[in-house]
Amino acid sequence: MGTRDLFTFSNPHFARGVGITAAILILTAIAGFIVLPFAQPWVQFANVWDAICSAAGVPQRAASVTAPEQAKRLSEVVLTSHTLSRPSQEAIGRGATLAQRCAICHGPTGISRADSPNLAGQYAAVIYKELFDFRSGARSNAVMSPFAVNLTDEEIADLSNYYAYLPRLPAYHPTPQLPKPNIVIYGAPMRGIAPCGACHGSLDNKTGSPWLEGQSEAYMKAQLQAFASGERHNDISQQMRNIARAMTPQEIEAAAAYYASQPPEVVKAVD
Amino acid sequence: MLANRKLILAHFSFAFAVFGVALTLGAWQMFIRSPIGTWLSNPELYYRSLTAHGTVMGYVFPTLVAMGFGYAISESALEQRLVGVRWAWTGFWLIVFGSVMAVTPIALGRASVLYTFYPPLIGNLFYYLGVVLVVVGSWIWVALMSINLRVWRNAHPGAPVPLAMFANVAGSYLWAWTAVGAALELLLQIIPVAAGLKNTIDAGLARIFFSWTLHAIVYFWLMPTYIAYYTIVPRAIGGRVYSDTMARISFILFLVVAMPIGMHHTFADPQVGAGFKFIHSAFTALVALPTLLTVFTICASVEIAARLRGGRGLFGWIRALPWDNPMLLALAFSFVMLGFGGAGGLINMSYQLDASIHNTQWITGHFHLIFGGAIVIMYFAIAYDLWPHLTGREMIDVRLIRTQLWLWFIGMIVTTFPWHWVGILGMPRRMAYFDFGDPAIAPQALSVIFSVIGGFILLASGILFLVILARGMRAPQADAGAYRFAIAVHQPTTVPVALNTHALWVALMIALTITNYGYPILNLATTAGTSVPAVYVGAQ
Ligand code: HEM
Ligand SMILES: [Cu+2]
């Protein structure tokens, strides 16, 4: 007995096996691709073929609906963990020259003496993204935006590389180190808030998230409030807005105070 | 007589050693995320452990048990020395090497991606290469099972293939084909990204490839258990297999319908069309059929044993069963867990009901009950049954064996019942931390504590299992005789070619894979703009 006797319709096992399998397949296909799509009164199909395509998952563009006009400009930056990963010495040098005009607010060593953010040793991808967003208008600030509008892509990259290269220094007015509040290490799972530390250091770091240790308390609080109100909206996929909206004012205070009180040495050495 | 005892013993020993380690991690996970553990303050450690536990329990342990058992079946059922012993050792060492290669980056925190890989999350290249080596090692076993059967057929033209070997080879073919899905995912999508050749990945397509593997792998895990139901238990308790044909049909059905149903794991995925989800759901319902056939046949086989021992009455025969026999005990426990697990499975496969338990602790409760419970308890039984033949020594600890099985059964129930319950209440799976102080989830704390207690009972049982096997290696020598399998009430003298070969059913399995997966895969592979940037573990 060889396969020749097996694969023939005169073999009852073959006929039955193939027949039953095919019958089940056809019946379930009719149910899944024709009957069930039409059983949904809230969806309209032009014809049977339309229903089949929809059930098969053929990508469709709804012709009649135009994409809603975006009221606000959103960030267009794409970041990967390779963004600006290997800067050259020249790029850093050019960045240093360009950075002289930033020093009034962000400090000559990259540590601010006002409540502007500290930039020394910040991740390059973070600075890169913010400068792009200021330039495109996705983020705006009366002082910062005019500086960004005239930067070229290369200048933005150079500045980012330069600041990332600077050593991480203590804040201008260091405060005593505070213990970790719950929002930083646990988040608030029932409100859908991941721990701050899961992206911003303390627990882990995610691409595009700044490390926050030693940052100005007033600045961080203002940013969280701006995210919560939607006034700031350049976070990709609303990552920060969703979180900030769900935070209580006390949690915002606690997180800002905690990160402001941390020395930069505690930033996880990942690079 | 088993000629290659060392080979089989090597498979079982390595399998059970890594099982012991992974079991400890499992118990720790349950404890550390419960209200009685103190929060680690570092979820990464939890995911490291979870990745190691899942990788070992999902890929390494059951594969080695199926392989070792497969070699034993080939030698004893066919009464023929294993052909290709060198290759078998190569496969074994590939798996050992692959396991070490995969676990090292996990331990270093470079591959905390969980055993389902979770693209676009990307871990260290060596983790994936290690998993590939494990699969390649097991494919050598598939080839050897097929070759050994062919050698036997040539020597016995037209003779019925012994049931154990028929089922064993069916299981190996199922595995060979189902592993292709994950292999495609790894080779075409994940490994190029992990090696730095690309930095985007089509996560939706990757999930479809994984679902190709994810369901039938469960039936591959299940195969040794079902083979033990049919061919070990009736012999061990003095019964007969009620129907050899029914057994063959069950294994054939597993081969055909276990494969084209994996998209029941992607019911919540937007990239799959609803029509395909329906087809997969309908075929999933069919896979209950071989299990129901099996339960029926085995109950009938056990009844035969009871009646042979003088049992009477409609149910009175149950009392006449040899309840002190560990094989019977394992079977009974396995069936109870299979029953509860199967009932839960009906919920998972229903499109609408699934939505309420999707990605909750219900799922982990469910597969621990089926896999860790119904399946693994029969792995224990297989080991106990084979051990005297492998070591050439007596198994003296029958009472300890019974205690071990009882503990596993009780532990599994105590662990998984509350685990299901908190899932229904909405507790998500794969979370490293739960704030049970929050009033919203405080009522679940008690259930989770029960699961922790169950987990430690399981750990105790697992340790006892290893102790019994170790003591079995030092017991007095005794000749266990030839290793035999159960015979049927009507031992077949001729079997129709379709029930004696696998070709037709393998062809149907492949055909259904093409009909049920072909279009969704092609569609995703050819649609532009479906890739997303990879997220590298440990990168900021
Ligand atoms: C002491 C006994 C065990 C305990 C307490 C235990 C506990 C756990 C826990 C807590 C998880 C993580 C679930 C989550 O948070 O999503 C897990 C995952 C897993 N367990 Fe177990 N386990 C045990 C035994 C087993 C056994 C015997 C097997 C199978 C042989 C197994 C297979 C798995 C698999 C494959 C995963 C991966 C799940 C995933 O990645 O979501 N476990 N286990
Ligand atoms: Cu499945």
What single-letter DSSP state applies at residue B371?
I
Tokens of B104: 């090292």
A2 vs A174: which has the higher pLDDT = A174
- With CB atoms and an 8 Å threshold, state whether A57 touches B271: yes
Show pLDDT as tens, one digit a residue, over chain B (540 residues): 688 999 999 999 999 999 999 999 999 999 999 999 887 777 889 999 999 999 999 999 999 999 999 999 999 999 999 999 999 999 999 999 999 999 999 999 999 999 999 999 999 999 999 999 999 999 999 999 999 999 999 999 989 999 999 999 999 999 999 999 999 999 999 999 999 999 899 999 999 999 999 999 999 999 999 999 999 999 999 999 999 999 999 999 999 999 999 999 999 999 999 999 999 999 999 999 999 999 999 999 999 999 999 988 888 899 999 999 999 999 999 999 999 999 999 999 988 899 999 999 999 999 999 999 999 999 999 999 999 999 999 998 899 999 999 999 999 999 999 999 999 999 999 988 888 887 888 999 999 999 999 999 999 999 999 999 999 999 999 988 889 999 999 988 889 999 999 999 999 999 999 999 999 999 999 998 889 888 888 765
Q: By 3-state DSSP, what share of chain A in percent is helix, strand and coil, each rounded to 5?
A: 50, 0, 45
Q: What is the position in ligand 1's atom list of the atom closest to the CA of B24?
A: 1
Structure tokens at A168: 């991480």
Q: How many domains does chain B have?
A: 1
For this structure, is B280 an active site residue?
no
pLDDT 10s digits, B52-88: 999 999 999 999 999 999 999 999 999 999 999 999 9
Residues of B with Cβ-Cβ distance to A37 under 8 angstroms: 274-275
Q: How far is the C-alpha of B316 from the C-alpha of B319, rounded, in Å?
A: 6
| Mean pLDDT for chain A overall | 87
DSSP string, B266-334: -TT-TTS-HHHHHHHHHHHHHTHHHHHHHHHHHHHHHHHHHHHTT--STTGGGGGS-TT-HHHHHHHHH
Q: Which residues 6+ apart lie within 8 Å of B34 measured at CB?
A: B445, B448, B449, B451, B452
> Reduced to 3 states, what is the DSSP secondary structure of residue A162?
helix
Measure CB to CB from residue A57 to each of B276, B286, B540 and give the nearest one: B276
Choice between A75 and B59, residue whose per-residue pLDDT is larger: B59
Taking the centre of ligand 2 as the mean of its atom positions, its distance from the CA of residue B259, in whole angstroms, is 9
CATH number of domain containing B22: 1.20.210.10
| Between residues A175 and A153, the one the model is more confident about | A153
Ligand nearest to the CA of B453: 1
Burial bucket for residue B519 (CB in 10 Å: 0-12, 13-18, 19+): middle
Evaluate if pTM is beyond 0.80: yes
Q: Which residues pair with A188 in a beta bridge?
A: A193
Q: How far apart are CA A121 and CA A163, in angstroms?
A: 6
Let me know if residue B519 belongs to a domain.
yes
The ipTM estimated for the assembled molecules is 0.90
The predicted structure's pLDDT at residue B257: 93
Residue B265's Cβ-count burial label (10 Å; 0-12, 13-18, 19+) is buried
Q: Tell me, what's the pLDDT at A64?
A: 60
Q: Which residue of B has its CA nearest to A188?
A: B435
CA atoms of B283 and B276, how far apart (whole Å): 11
Percent of chain A with pLDDT over 90: 52
Q: Is residue B536 part of a domain?
A: no
β-bridge partners, B155: none
**Domain, as residue range, for B457:** 5-530
Predicted pLDDT at A269: 45
Residues of A in contact with B519 (CB under 8 A): 56
B539 within a domain of the structure (yes/no): no
Q: Which two tokens mark B369? A: 């009950």
CA separation for the pair B424, B362 (Å, rounded):
6
Cβ(A45)–Cβ(A109) below 8 Å: no
Q: Please tell me the predicted confidence (pLDDT) of residue B480.
A: 86
Say if CB B500 and CB B443 are below 8 A apart: no
Catalytic residue among B309, B429, B456, B471: B429
Superfamily (CATH H level) for A89-165? Cytochrome c-like domain (1.10.760.10)
> What residue spans define the domains of chain A?
3-55, 89-165, 182-270
- Domain for residue B132, yes or no? yes
Distance from CA of B438 to the nearest CA of A (A): 8
Tell me what pLDDT residue A271 has. 41
Sign of CA dihedral A31, A32, A35, A39: positive
Q: Which residue has the tokens 């002190």?
A: B324
**CB burial readout B160-190, b (16+ within 10 A) else e:** bbbbbbbbbbbbbbbbbbbbbbbbbbbeebb
Quick: pLDDT tens for A150-161.
999 999 999 999
Tell which one of B25, B49, B114, B364 to mutate to probe ligand 1, the residue whose CB is within 8 A of the most ligand atoms.
B364
pLDDT one-digit tens code per residue, B237-256: 999 999 999 999 999 999 99
Most ligand 1 atoms within 8 A of CB, residue of B368, B422, B429 to mutate? B368
Average pLDDT over residues A252-262: 93
From atom 3 of ligand 1, which residue's Cα is the shortest distance away?
A: B26
pLDDT of residue A61: 67
Question: Does any domain span residue B438?
Answer: yes
Largest CA distance in chain A: 91
Q: Which helix (H) or strand (E) is B481 found in, with range?
A: none
A67 confidence band (pLDDT: 50, 70, 90): low
Candidates B199, B275, B431; nearest CB to A55: B275
* DSSP letter assigned to residue A188: B
Residues in the 5 Å CB sphere of ion ligand 2: B 215
Cα separation, A92 vs A111, in Å, equals: 18
Please state which of the four CATH numbers 1.10.760.10, 1.10.10.10, 3.40.50.20, 2.50.20.10 is assigned to the domain occupying A182-270. 1.10.760.10
Pocket residues for ligand 1 (CB within 6 Å)?
B 23, 26-27, 29-30, 50, 53-54, 57-58, 61, 114-116, 364, 368, 371-372, 376, 415, 429-430, 455, 458-459
The residue annotated as part of the active site, out of B248, B366, B389, B420, is B366
Residue B134 and residue B193 in contact, taking contact as beta carbons nearer than 8 Å:
no
**Amino acid A240: pLDDT:** 94
Q: Establish if B394 belongs to a structural domain.
A: yes
CA distance B1 to chain A (A): 30
Query: Hey, is B341 helix, strand or coil?
Result: helix
Please state, in angstroms and as integers, the Cα–Cα distance from residue B250 to each residue in A54, B245, B294, following that order.
36, 9, 7
- Three-class secondary structure of residue B112 per DSSP: coil
Q: Closest to B434 (Cβ–Cβ): which among A7, A24, A189? A: A189
Q: Which helix (H) or strand (E) holds A197?
A: helix A197-200
Place of tokens 């969703």: A242
Q: CB-CB: which of A29, A56, A206 is closest to B540? A: A206
If contacts are CB pairs under 8 Å, which of residues 245-304 in chain B contact chain A? Answer: 256, 271-279, 282-283, 286
| Residue A150: burial class (beta carbons within 10 Å; 0-12, 13-18, 19+) | exposed
B278/A28 Cβ within 8 A:
yes
